[in-house]
Chain A
Amino acid sequence: KNEVEQSPQNLTAQEGEFITINCSYSVGISALHWLQQHPGGGIVSLFMLSSGKKKHGRLIATINIQEKHSSLHITASHPRDSAVYICAVSDDYKLSFGAGTTVTVRA
């Protein structure tokens, strides 16, 4: 069983809709990362958090350490948000990744 589980695996939304991606993990961690990967493209770090909540533009990431759960929210989604979103957890030196959530936003 993977240490990091993401849901859903795929998600389709209409432009403007609110999107939530979930990440659960089973090990103790130092930090949790949310990454974005566009089709055929590289990987970009969106957030790194170890507690609470972070916001950047239309993206919000939250983490509940006690429940070992994190969520990534996209408000007012746009077709350019279409990408694979990847959750990763880390100890001091190693990252473990979820399989990713493919998000498609239709105009």
Chain B
Amino acid sequence: NAGVTQTPKFQVLKTGQSMTLQCAQDMNHEYMSWYRQDPGMGLRLIHYSVGAGITDQGEVPNGYNVSRSTTEDFPLRLLSAAPSQTSVYFCASSRITGGNQPQHFGDGTRLSIL
């Protein structure tokens, strides 16, 4: 099993550009989530989903959109990239009632906004 796969691993964008970070899991997990990790700070929840067609905001949702059309995929869209969105992004998945299940993380996407 591949687990949680994130693409790309690295990306450099210019301010104002848009892009989509991909996240796919092959464990048939209902719960998926996106986090950003910044130096000196803990991981912060951006958006999460408890199943296909259901998404909700986390702690820092501004500037990001998500959708969940299938159980396997949970893409994160940056609408108009800003330097403040320079970060490492992690996707995670788990069985339903995500907070009470072990989390499976992807390897991360390192994103730089110039």
Q: A residues engaging B (CB < 8 A)?
A: 2, 4, 30-31, 33, 35, 41-45, 48, 50, 86, 88, 90-100
Q: Does B102 contact A (CB under 8 A)?
A: yes
B99 and A92 contacting across the interface, CB-CB below 8 Å: yes
B residues at A contact (CB < 8 Å): 31, 33, 35, 40-45, 48, 50, 56, 58-59, 90, 92, 97-108
Do residues A93 and B41 form an inter-chain contact, with CB atoms below 8 A?
no
Are B107 and A93 in touch, CB under 8 angstroms?
no
Chain B nearest CB from A76 CB (Å) reads 25
The total of Cβ contacts below 8 Å across the A-B interface reads: 73
Q: Are B102 and A45 in contact (CB under 8 A)?
A: yes
User: In the complex, which residues of chain B have a beta carbon less than 8 angstroms from the beta carbon of A95?
Assistant: 33, 43, 45, 98-99, 103
